[in-house]
Amino acid sequence: MAVNSERAGAVRIAITGVVQGVGFRPFVYRLAQRLEVRGWVLNDARGVAIHAEADLPTLDYFIDMLRREAPAAASIAALTYEPEATHGCRRFEIRESHGAQSPTTRISPDLPVCESCLRELRERTDRRYRYPYINCTNCGPRYSIVLALPYDRPNTTMRGWPLCAPCAREYADPSDRRFHAQPVACPDCGPKFTLERSHEPAIAGDDALAEAVRLLRGGAIVAIKGIGGYHLACDARNATAVAALRARKFRKERPFAIMVRDAAKARELVVLDAESAKLLHGIARPIVLAKALVTLAGVAPDNAELGVMLPYTPMHHLLFDGGAPTALVMTSANRSSEPIAFRDEDARTMLDGIADALLVGERPIARRVDDSVVRAGPYGPTVLRRSRGLAPHVVATLPVSRPLLALGGDLKNAIALCIEGQVIVSQHIGDLEHVPAVEAFRETVAGLCAMYDLDPSDVEIVHDAHPQYRSTREADRLGGSKRRAVQHHRAHVASVLAERGAFDERVLGFGFDGTGYGDDGTIWGGEVFAGSIRAGFERVAHLRPVPLPGGDAAARFPVQAAAGFLADIAPNGMHDAPFDFPERYTLGQRMLERNVRSFTTSSIGRLFDAVAALCGFTREVTFEGQAAMWLEQIARGATEARGYRFVLDGDQFDPRELLAAVVTDRRAGYEPGTIALGFHLALADTIAALDKRFGIERVVVSGGVFQNALLLEALAARLGPRLWINRLVPANDGGICLGQLALAAHV
Binding site for Fe ion (CB under 5 A): 513, 516, 733
Cβ 502 to Fe ion shortest distance, Å? 21
- Looking at the Cβ atoms of 80 and 468, the one nearer to Fe ion is 468
- Looking at the Cβ atoms of 282 and 307, the one nearer to Zn ion is 282
Cβ 408 to Fe ion shortest distance, Å? 10
- Of the candidates 114, 21, 14, the one whose C-alpha atom is nearest the C-alpha of residue 393 is 21
- Looking at the Cβ atoms of 138 and 707, the one nearer to Zn ion is 138
- Looking at the Cβ atoms of 58 and 413, the one nearer to Fe ion is 413
Please choose which of Zn ion, Fe ion, none residue 527 contacts, taking the beta carbon within 5 to 8 angstroms, the exact cut-off set by kind: none
Report the distance separating Cα 541 and Cα 472, nearest Å.
27
- Looking at the Cβ atoms of 408 and 531, the one nearer to Fe ion is 408
Report the distance separating Cα 252 and Cα 55, nearest Å.
67
Looking at residues 223 to 282 of the shown chain, list those that interact with Zn ion (rule: CB under 5 A).
Answer: none
Please choose which of Fe ion, Zn ion, none residue 117 contacts, taking the beta carbon within 5 to 8 angstroms, the exact cut-off set by kind: Zn ion
Largest CA distance in the chain: 95
| Residue 116 dihedral angles phi and psi, to the nearest 5° | -65, -45
Cβ 285 to Zn ion shortest distance, Å? 14
Cβ 499 to Fe ion shortest distance, Å? 16
Q: How far is CA 335 from CA 196, 246, 269, 354, 368, in A?
A: 20, 10, 27, 9, 15
- Of the candidates 733, 704, 723, the one whose C-alpha atom is nearest the C-alpha of residue 486 is 733
3-state secondary structure of 586: helix
DSSP symbol at 640: S
DSSP E strands in 465-609: the ranges are 482-486, 507-517, 523-532, 536-543, 546-549, 598-601
- Of the candidates 406, 427, 260, 248, the one whose C-alpha atom is nearest the C-alpha of residue 339 is 427
Please choose which of Zn ion, Fe ion, none residue 114 contacts, taking the beta carbon within 5 to 8 angstroms, the exact cut-off set by kind: Zn ion
Q: Is 167 in the site for Zn ion (CB under 5 A)?
A: yes
Q: In the set 52, 111, 117, 330, which binds Zn ion (CB under 5 A)?
A: 117
Please choose which of Zn ion, Fe ion, none residue 513 contacts, taking the beta carbon within 5 to 8 angstroms, the exact cut-off set by kind: Fe ion
Cβ 409 to Fe ion shortest distance, Å? 6
Q: Is 496 in the site for Zn ion (CB under 5 A)?
A: no
Q: Which residue is nearest to Fe ion (CB)?
A: 513
Q: In the set 8, 42, 63, 164, which binds Zn ion (CB under 5 A)?
A: 164
Q: Is 72 in the site for Zn ion (CB under 5 A)?
A: no
Q: In the set 139, 212, 629, 736, which binds Zn ion (CB under 5 A)?
A: 139
Size of the site for Zn ion (CB under 5 A): 10
- Which helix (H) or strand (E) element contains residue 605? helix 604-615
Q: Is 186 in the site for Zn ion (CB under 5 A)?
A: yes
Answer whether the bond into residue 578 is a cis peptide, omega within 30°. yes
Cβ 134 to Zn ion shortest distance, Å? 7
- Looking at the Cβ atoms of 460 and 527, the one nearer to Fe ion is 527
- Looking at the Cβ atoms of 115 and 520, the one nearer to Zn ion is 115
DSSP symbol at 7: G
3-state secondary structure of 440: helix
Q: How far is CA 403 from CA 63, 400, 574, 743, in A?
A: 36, 8, 54, 14
Q: Is 74 in the site for Zn ion (CB under 5 A)?
A: no
Cβ 704 to Fe ion shortest distance, Å? 6
Please choose which of Zn ion, Fe ion, none residue 661 contacts, taking the beta carbon within 5 to 8 angstroms, the exact cut-off set by kind: none
Letter for the amino acid at 266?
A: A
* Strand partners of residue 331: 232
Cβ 254 to Fe ion shortest distance, Å? 19
- Of the candidates 624, 627, 556, the one whose C-alpha atom is nearest the C-alpha of residue 303 is 627
Site string for Zn ion, 189-228 (x = CB under 5 A): x---------------------------------------
Please choose which of Zn ion, Fe ion, none residue 733 contacts, taking the beta carbon within 5 to 8 angstroms, the exact cut-off set by kind: Fe ion
3-class DSSP string for 100-153 = CCCHHHCCCCCECCCHHHHHHHCCCCCCCCCCCCCCECCEECCCCCECCCCCCH
- Looking at the Cβ atoms of 114 and 592, the one nearer to Zn ion is 114
Cβ 689 to Fe ion shortest distance, Å? 23
- Of the candidates 448, 451, 394, 452, the one whose C-alpha atom is nearest the C-alpha of residue 423 is 394
Q: In the set 18, 59, 74, 136, which binds Zn ion (CB under 5 A)?
A: 136
Residue numbers of the site for Zn ion (CB under 5 A)? 114, 117, 136, 138-139, 164, 167, 186, 188-189
